Structure 1
Amino acid sequence: MTPEPALGDMERKHSPPLSEAAFTLLVQGVLDYGIFMLDPQGYVVSWNAGAERIKGYTADEIVGRHFSTFYPPEDKSAGKPQWELETAIAEGRLEDEGWRIRSDGSRFWANVVITALWDDEGVLRGFGKVTRDMSERRAAQEALSERRRLFDHLVQAQETERRRIAWDVHDDSIQVMVAVGMRLQLLQGRVPEESATELARLDASVREAISSLRNLTFRLHPPGIDRHGLVEALSNHLDDVVGPWGLAFSFRHRLDREPTPETSITIFRIVQEALLNVRKHARGSAVTLEVESVDRGILTRLVDDGIGEPLSSNAVHDHFGIIEMRERAQTAGGWWSMHSEPGTGTTVEFWVPSPEPVEAPTEEPR
């Protein structure tokens, strides 16, 4: 007589392998992903805790129902559920993002992967479906896009206002001052010598004021900033402005692509202000400007060889130019910093994100 197997042997014989049991436990316990199976016709045959959390159905409520239950009416009308199954059969898998419906009728944005499951004989046994709720990520992306849209509008509005002020100064204030200068020159030949000397001084003051106003209009709206790329705009500014100051300069750039106009303007304005600070305060002889693509953005570094000075917290927070540079970088979603020590010069460094330019939609041919 054959001895009966011990109870422990019977349990091992009829229990699934440990790896299979562990895998089932893993799938059933995952909460961040809805993981379930469909039969070849698309009816739900299994349901995990993650699917219940994301979609709101218990296993008793959903097993046996067609997976098109999860799709909004417009997708059902368009035949999207059946098309997804057919695509998964033809290509082995399908990945999609779109709206899905919870048990209470509310919508959520889902990432879905459907995989066709075949047995060893090549017979379709059903589909594996993995769903993840991407609503929070989509909301964050939309918030970021809205912030970028508002930032672009802000930059455009600022540049429009700068351009208007530059035109007003050029067409009104400068022209009035030029007319005053011409009248002073005419009067110099009609008055006594002692008065002519005073008029000459006034004329010199008027000429100096005209020069200052012209420099102001250039700073407000440098020619070509909205027509050329960032590298050319910075290079031209160094040649046309910094060179005549008597500062030696070097410019290194490593950009993987041209930034959007709004990003270019932001970088240009910060560099423009930093260079102006070098001229006013650094008492140096040379500057180095570096611009490079880093971490899906643009890192800019301006180093001078000036006297340098310890930066007190009050100086950093109260200086208008520093405030403007920092706020421009932060408004763009980046950061700004300045390092300075006596005898070592000053380094201004900032990073701003460089989003992909949005292409205008092309009109469909009629």
Structure 2
Amino acid sequence: MTAPPADLADEAPDPLSGDHRFQLLVDAIKDHAIYLLDAQGRVSSWNTGAQRLKGYSADEIIGQHFSRFYTPEDIATGLPERALLAARTTGRFEAQGWRVRKDGTCFWTSVHIEPVLGSGGALIGYAKVTRDLSQLLHSEQALLASEERFRLLVQGVRDYAIYMLDPFGRVSNWNAGAQLIKGYTAREILGQHFSRFYTAEDRARGEPARALQVALSEKKYESEAWRVRKDGSRFWASVVIDPLYDEAGTHIGFAKITRDITERKRSQDEMDRAREALAQAQKLEAIGRLTGGVAHDFNNLLTVIRSSVELLRRTGGDEARRTRYVEAIADAADRAALLTKQLLAFARQQPLRPEVFHVGTRVAAMKQMIETLVGAQVRLEFEFAACQGMIEADAGQFDTAIFNMAINAKDAMPNGGQLKISARDVEEIPPALRQAAAHGDFLAVSIEDTGTGIEPSTLSRIFDPFFTTKPVTKGTGLGLSQVYGFVKQSGGEIAVASRVGEGTCFTLYLPRTSKLPAVAVPDDSRDVLPARRDLSILLVEDNDEVGEFELGLLHEMGHPGTRAASAAEALKILEQQHANFDLVFSDVVMPGINGLELAKEIRRRWPDLPVVLTSGYSHAVADDLGREFELLHKPYSVRELQALFDRAAKTPPRFRRK
């Protein structure tokens, strides 16, 4: 075996014994005080961590009793002795508590003591490990303080009901706001299912379960609805429900916040009613302005009709002249009917209902009424070639806005002039108007006149309600405020430019929409059945002149008819001979039992007997009739009447609405 090199052979053996290595390891630990006590509790060893945590050097503390690390209160209660006794008898002592450093400051510690036994089992001392947990204690105390402050905050909130539900929807805690809003104390409601706050109608629809399901699937549920207090009264509530999960991601319940917003809803409802009332007031004002023009137009139409009738009496056998006069009468009647229909449609009261429409098409349909409003002295011009987009707004409000501005333009041109209504697509609106308007593309509708213009000092006030420069009998000052409200409500803006003596131009910037107008698809499926021309009809009409005329019209059309002068008389006739009639044709507005009530009674008693209603009114009630019964608006043509009779009579009973 070769001898090792001289430098290695002469090297001294490793001076670190096992005990020395262990002492170096213990001294290297600085976050724990690790030291030994003899059997009487005196310190017999001291590591670097002990010096750092407790402030004593080894020379200062070795030989001293470990009780000097305890607070006076703990020493008085004998805690040091009890700690050693517990370690000696049970094999271990563990605890947390306050300890004292050399400088007298206290710190929160975790203490571990184990007995050290000799080879024969005799007790020779104790091993003691101490750790400074002051920072952890401070963090826990801060957390507890934060949680307590949060609890006090939640409990102190009185405008919101803030509480928790378990995964099944049972109330698991309850704040003061919840008690104030809902009326239940925590003792009364904890453990109860939250569905008791819902109305009976919502519970029947399964709304509570749906709310929790939506919260789970979409991570949040928000709604506004009626809720019920303990005393049974209802309140309008804003509700938010969020699901709660623990650190492992397990669903543990729901956080629920409810706010009583009854007053806000009441204010909003009142505002909506006021807005609708304002819109209706504007319509009525416009109708008042229309009266003179409408009377003029109707007198012209009546002149045509009257003159044609007189000429018909003189034509003798000239068939060509008779035909010309008859066509003139029919044309005048059609134009009168259109004017009446537009006037009634404009005057009707209805909720605000946004719909998609093309401005050019809408204004074109209003042309006759605008012409009537402004009179013959004002030349009208329409330009919509640059307008291809659609808007989504309340069509009735739009009509009212156009009429109001047309009225203002007419008043600004007492000696006549020109009124131009145009529309164009625009990609942006003027910078000064952008701050409040919706984002996106717009459609600009301009109403421009050649009138007197508006004074600069007046321009800033023209949209104020009830502000007007017109005489008392010429306006209320609500016209432009309605226009302003309509544009703002639609997400748009309005601009005005005016020069005194030259004219004024109002431009309405309305957001364009990519939606398409709703298209009514007629149901022609019943038209394939063969038409019946020999219907036996019960006519119900209270007006003698109209009744006699309509009865004669039925006979001329080939339908045998019987007239009843009231709904009560019609029911008596049907009780005796309902099987003899193929159809009932009734006016809607009659004294006593009206036409709708009669139709419902006939449907109840003789469900196989068709009913057709007719009305000269064009309002929401009449339109609703059309959803339940066949409805024919007056005036009507013979062709319209026959088509409706055929459709009603051909509908098999099992397909008629019950």
Partner of 2:141: 15
Deviation at 1:36, TM superposition (A): 0.8
Distance in 2 separating the partners of 1:90 and 1:349: 46
Contact 2:244 2:253 in 1 (8 A): yes
Deviation at 1:23, TM superposition (A): 4.0
1:170 maps onto 2:300 in alignment:
yes
Mark the CA change 1:166 to 1:102 in structure 2 (over 3 Å): closer, same or farther.
farther
Partner of 1:231: 360
Distance in 1 separating the partners of 2:502 and 2:294: 40
Contact 1:308 1:345 in 2 (8 A): yes
Of 25-34 and 329-338, deviating more is 329-338
Q: Secondary structure at the match of 1:130?
A: strand
Unaligned runs of 5+ in 2: 1-65, 71-97, 100-105, 109-133, 312-331, 347-356, 430-435, 459-466, 487-493, 511-516, 521-622, 629-656
Distance in 2 separating the partners of 1:254 and 1:278: 30
The match for 1:318 among 471, 481, 484 is: 471
Partner of 1:262: 396
Partner of 1:194: none
Deviation at 1:256, TM superposition (A): 5.2
Partner of 2:619: none
Identical-pair percentage: 28
Partner of 1:279: 413
The match for 2:160 among 6, 21, 33 is: 33
Tell me which amino acid in the other structure corresponds to 2:221. L
Q: How many residues align?
A: 322
Unaligned runs of 5+ in 1: 183-213
Partner of 2:250: 123
Q: Deviations over 1:49-78 (max 9, x none)?
A: 332332233334433333233123344455
Distance in 1 separating the partners of 2:221 and 2:453: 60
Contact 2:278 2:482 in 1 (8 A): yes
Mark the CA change 1:307 to 1:32 in structure 2 (over 3 Å): closer, same or farther.
same
1:46 maps onto 2:176 in alignment:
no
Q: Which has the larger helix fraction?
A: 1
Mark the CA change 1:348 to 1:166 in structure 2 (over 3 Å): closer, same or farther.
same
Distance in 2 separating the partners of 1:133 and 1:277: 49
1:334 maps onto 2:468 in alignment:
no
Tell me which amino acid in the other structure corresponds to 2:239. V
Distance in 2 separating the partners of 1:315 and 1:65: 61
* Structure (1 or 2) with the larger CA radius of gyration: 2
RMSD: 5.6
Mark the CA change 1:304 to 1:78 in structure 2 (over 3 Å): closer, same or farther.
closer
Distance in 1 separating the partners of 2:473 and 2:422: 22
Partner of 2:645: none
Q: Secondary structure at the match of 1:334?
A: helix
1:1-366 aligned at under 5 Å gives the runs 1=66, 2-3=69-70, 4=98, 6=106, 12=138, 15-17=141-143, 20-147=147-274, 165=295, 168-172=298-302, 221=339, 230-232=359-361, 234=363, 257-280=391-414, 295=437, 302-304=447-449, 308=453, 310=455, 316-318=469-471, 320-321=473-474, 323=475, 326-330=477-481, 334=485, 342=500, 345-346=503-504
Distance in 1 separating the partners of 2:268 and 2:211: 26
Q: Deviations over 1:171-202 (max 9, x none)?
A: 336767x79xx9xxxxxxxxxxxxxxxxxxxx
Contact 2:453 2:503 in 1 (8 A): yes
Q: Deviations over 1:102-142 (max 9, x none)?
A: 12221112232222212123333221111122323333443
Distance in 2 separating the partners of 1:78 and 1:309: 58
Distance in 1 separating the partners of 2:508 and 2:473: 17
Contact 1:266 1:329 in 2 (8 A): no
Distance in 1 separating the partners of 2:424 and 2:267: 29
Deviation at 1:282, TM superposition (A): 8.5
Tell me which amino acid in the other structure corresponds to 2:299. V
Partner of 2:77: none
Contact 1:282 1:307 in 2 (8 A): no
Distance in 1 separating the partners of 2:300 and 2:501: 41
Distance in 1 separating the partners of 2:484 and 2:265: 18
Q: What TM-score does the superposition give when structure 1 sets the normalisation length?
A: 0.60
Bigger RCO of structures 1 and 2 (CA < 8 A, at least 6 apart): 1
Mark the CA change 1:221 to 1:280 in structure 2 (over 3 Å): closer, same or farther.
farther
Deviation at 1:11, TM superposition (A): 7.9
Distance in 1 separating the partners of 2:409 and 2:231: 60
Tell me which amino acid in the other structure corresponds to 1:334. G
Tell me which amino acid in the other structure corresponds to 1:62. I
